[in-house]
Amino acid sequence: MADKQKFYITTAISYPNGAPHIGHAYEVVASDAIARFKRIDGYDVFFMTGTDEHGLKIQQTADKNGTTPKAFVDDMAAKFRAMADRLNCSYDRFIRTTDADHVPSTQELWRRMQEKGDIYLSKYSGWYSVRDEAYYDEAELTKQPDGSWRAPTGTPVEWIEEESYFFRLSAYQDRLLAHYEAHPDFISPETRRNEITSFVRSGLQDLSISRTTFNWGLPVPGDPKHVMYVWIDALNNYVTGCGFPNESDPRWNYWPADVHIIGKDIVRFHTVYWPAFLMSAELPLPKRVFGHGFLLNKGEKMSKSVGNVVDPFDLADTYGVDQIRYFFMREVPFGQDGNYSHEAIVNRINADLANDLGNLAQRSLSMIAKNCDAAVPQPGEFAQADQDMLWLADALPVKTRAAMKDFALHTTLAEIWAVVAEANRYFASQEPWVLRKTNPERMNTVLYVTAEVLRAVGILAQPFVPEAAAKLLDLLAIPPEGRGLASVGPEHRLAAGTALPQPAPIFPRYLEAEAS
């Protein structure tokens, strides 16, 4: 058997300087859906997420909490991991930048860049935002009424002057532009590509890549009074996870990553700095970087510092894990910003999940249980309406693959639920409850077709609502090996006579708590 094609997907690694918020949940859930989709499409997937634990921001937060940075991040990283678990995210590794293998890996990247002549020692003086862990040009800043300065992201900046190592980023301007040109898919969505291209065209300055005024970071090889700039440390997690620098490690086969899924605020780090570091170290570049939008709470950016954070654990407890996953991915076109509200979530849960899919499954499977000896019914000859319905379900793999190629999660779900809507129309117009008396054979055919559509929908829904989809496929007695995309279609139809378990609801309605 030929080796499976590899697919390596990562999220950004989160700063554990506060509890995880809905933005972190959004990113890991979307990435998980892509990873799961690729798995059921036959790929050998490596999915990595984790935490970005060094840097001044973490050190300052730990100080404020009266603890050590390590004790602080140990506690916080566990919360991030628990969130990914609670949201049913199927990561293969949860990487922490304090993991032992991250030190030699990142120091080796540094050494390779140094050998290339791309690192030199000089003096840094300029503006730094601790909250963004980023340097800004004076021209990018705005002055506040109190005379202080703010970064374009709105965070405070401070003037820094210290000895620092620099990375010769300016030398990579042309190569980066050539790469964007030759690989139009490298940065998406397109708006982000345009932003980055014009940023790089406007000229790149060398980057300060070490600090001496604090020590919560990875030591610079050969000069341990310097710690590495946290973004070198952070970005390098993506190759540490593949065993770098041990290129005979089997995980190295996953590099280069197929996609880094990140938020729009950190596209510059991933599409300018990171590829330049990799070019310098003569390592292959990730194939794609996708900058998703922000989830906004009533139109405002959610962040720890603003204090309008929504706890993902509360969301999961209130609405259900599959429900939240579905909402995130269906409501917001992936790549754009989106709004969250209680009404919008309840609406999606009740309309799409409980009514459209849940009711259809419940009604059709209950009829099969009662009228067909609790087994897949024997269909008669397919009428045109049956064939049309089956054809729509059979077309789902092709349609969803096309949408997933561009990470259009919302379109993928829209395609699946369009089939669910059509199946509801089919079921209503065929009236199998009337056929039960007038034409039981025809009833069998209609119920068979409906069950077949549910099988396809159940398979396709797995990446998005894994628990409910598994329940649905269990109700149809689909074995584990019959749950891949390749099993959708005429060659793998349900076998008449297969015994089915007692039907049970897959999506409860969300009922508002009674006001007391």
Q: Does 24 bind ligand ME8 (CB under 6 A)?
A: yes
Our CA dihedral for 91, 95, 96, 101, rounded to 10 degrees, sits at: 160
Pattern 238-277, binding to ligand ME8, x per CB under 6 A?
------------------------xx-xx-----------
Q: Which is nearer to ligand ME8, 17 or 445 (CB)?
A: 17
Q: What is the amino acid identity at position 469?
A: A
Task: State how far Cα 74 lies from the chain centre.
Answer: 23
Give the binding range for ligand ME8 (CB under 6 A) out of 9-17, 365-373, 376-384, 442-450. 9-17
* Of residues 24, 41, 45, 38, the one with CA closest to residue 87: 24
Give the binding range for ligand ME8 (CB under 6 A) out of 295-303, 366-374, 414-422, 477-485. 295-303
With H, G, I as helix, E, B as strand and everything else as coil, classify residue 393.
helix
Tell me how many residues contact ligand ME8 (CB under 6 A). 19
Give the binding range for ligand ME8 (CB under 6 A) out of 10-18, 181-189, 209-217, 341-349. 10-18
Q: Which is nearer to ligand ME8, 241 or 463 (CB)?
A: 241
Q: Which of residues 25-64 bind ligand ME8 (CB under 6 A)?
A: 26-27, 52
What are the DSSP calls for 5-18, one per residue? PEEEEEEEEEP-SS
Phi, psi values for residue 400, rounded to 5°: -75, -35
Q: Does 393 bind ligand ME8 (CB under 6 A)?
A: no
Q: Which of residues 300-359 bind ligand ME8 (CB under 6 A)?
A: 301-302
Is the sign of the CA dihedral 404, 409, 410, 413 positive or negative?
positive
Task: State how far Cα 318 lies from the chain centre.
Answer: 22
Give the binding range for ligand ME8 (CB under 6 A) out of 150-158, 293-301, 328-336, 482-490. 293-301
**Whose CB is nearest to ligand ME8?**
263
- Member of 9, 12, 89, 476 binding ligand ME8 (CB under 6 A): 12
As a whole number of angstroms, the distance between CA 20 and CA 309 comes to 9
SS3 assignment for 51-72: ECCCCHHHHHHHHHCCCCHHHH
With H, G, I as helix, E, B as strand and everything else as coil, classify residue 383.
coil
Q: Which is nearer to ligand ME8, 234 or 389 (CB)?
A: 234
Give min distance, CB of 235 to ligand ME8, in A. Answer: 5
Cβ neighbours, 10 Å, residue 158: 11
Q: Does 131 bind ligand ME8 (CB under 6 A)?
A: no
- Member of 119, 204, 235, 457 binding ligand ME8 (CB under 6 A): 235
Q: Does 108 bind ligand ME8 (CB under 6 A)?
A: no
Give min distance, CB of 378 to ligand ME8, in A. Answer: 50
Q: Which is nearer to ligand ME8, 27 or 386 (CB)?
A: 27
- Angle ∠(220,112,223) on CA atoms, nearest 5: 20
| Residue labelled with tokens 């999606």 | 348
Give min distance, CB of 180 to ligand ME8, in A. Answer: 20
Helix ranges (H only) for 395-514 are 396-405, 409-430, 432-438, 440-461, 466-475
Give min distance, CB of 332 to ligand ME8, in A. Answer: 9
Peptide bond into 189 cis (omega under 30): yes
Give min distance, CB of 114 to ligand ME8, in A. Answer: 21
Q: Number of C-alpha atoms within 13 angstroms, CB side, residue 51?
A: 26
Q: Does 217 bind ligand ME8 (CB under 6 A)?
A: no
> Across 82-206, where does the E strand assignment appear?
93-96, 119-129, 134-136, 142-143, 149-150, 158-167, 187-188
Pattern 452-481, binding to ligand ME8, x per CB under 6 A?
------------------------------
Continuous segment of H or E residues that includes residue 148: none
Give the binding range for ligand ME8 (CB under 6 A) out of 162-170, 294-302, 403-411, 485-493. 294-302
Q: Which is nearer to ligand ME8, 99 or 474 (CB)?
A: 99
User: What is the number of helices (H) and of strands (E) in the chain?
Assistant: 20, 18
Q: Which is nearer to ligand ME8, 12 or 494 (CB)?
A: 12
With H, G, I as helix, E, B as strand and everything else as coil, classify residue 328.
helix
Give min distance, CB of 100 to ligand ME8, in A. Answer: 19
Site of interaction with ligand ME8 (CB under 6 A): 12-15, 23-24, 26-27, 52, 234-235, 262-263, 265-266, 294-295, 301-302
